[in-house]
Amino acid sequence: METGRIDGTTRLFTIIGDPIHGVRTPTLFNEMFGRKNVNAVMVAHHVLAADLETCWNGLKTMRNLDGIVITMPHKTPMTGLVDSLGINARVAGAINAARRKSDGTWEGDMFDGVGCVDGLRRQGHEPAGRREFLMGAGGAGSAVAGALAQAGVKRLIVQDIDARRAARLADRIRAVYPGLDIDSGTIGDGPFDIAINATPQGMRDGDPLPFDPSPLPASTLVVDVIIKPEVTPLLVLAERTGHRIQPGGHMHRGQAVAAAKFFGFDLES
């Protein structure tokens, strides 16, 4: 797309969330649109949870809006607003992307988990056959759990501030992958090869740590899905205690690539 060219034929994409200041997705998509000379643009919309349904009712009436990226805290409630769900979304119970289909209906799917596994593999950390701990059973955590199960992890322990939600997620994943050793539990149920934070704890100053990495073996890789700050308090502490770390930018890149394909684009070419 020519620099500054936004006109009546420009196709629109957006990302919605709260908070929204740290998102990088618009940069990735707009750079791609420029490289490919696509007359499209992505912008960010700050949408509070209480306003989500009102916002959605307006957005879906915009005939030149082709796709939406969904971030926290809207990933789970958006499943009840779109018209259909892809397989990843049905397993995760959440979506992070929605696209307008040719018949005008909206389909949602979830790529956080795909992005997490892709980010691990690109950094040389194969999840298959590993013992993994996952903090968070919300939208992102559910997606990550499903993708880790699909990747063939050996054991998966899920913890959440709501123990019943963690147990429900473990049951849901076990029903799809009956051979997987998965259960709800705590960081104390290790040892683990990889420990992942899939909660928003660490995004705001003063947030408590999602878990304490200190008791984990030094060989454990500590992963955070948060992208801002790039190195979260969890990762700072993990480095101090001698653990390898992986920031959320790797997962973000992987899920953006997958979401772009969902919209019909190749982010990497």
Active site residues: 75
Q: Are 82 and 110 in contact (CB under 8 A)?
A: no
| Burial (Cβ within 10 Å: 0-12, 13-18, ≥19) of residue 240 | exposed
Closest CA to 107 of 88, 132, 127, 134: 88
Q: In what order do the strands lie in the sheet with 106-109?
A: 40-46, 11-17, 65-70, 97-100, 106-109, 84-85
> Which residue type, as a one-letter code, is found at position 149?
A
Q: Partners of 159 in the beta sheet? A: 135
> Which residue type, as a one-letter code, is found at position 184?
S
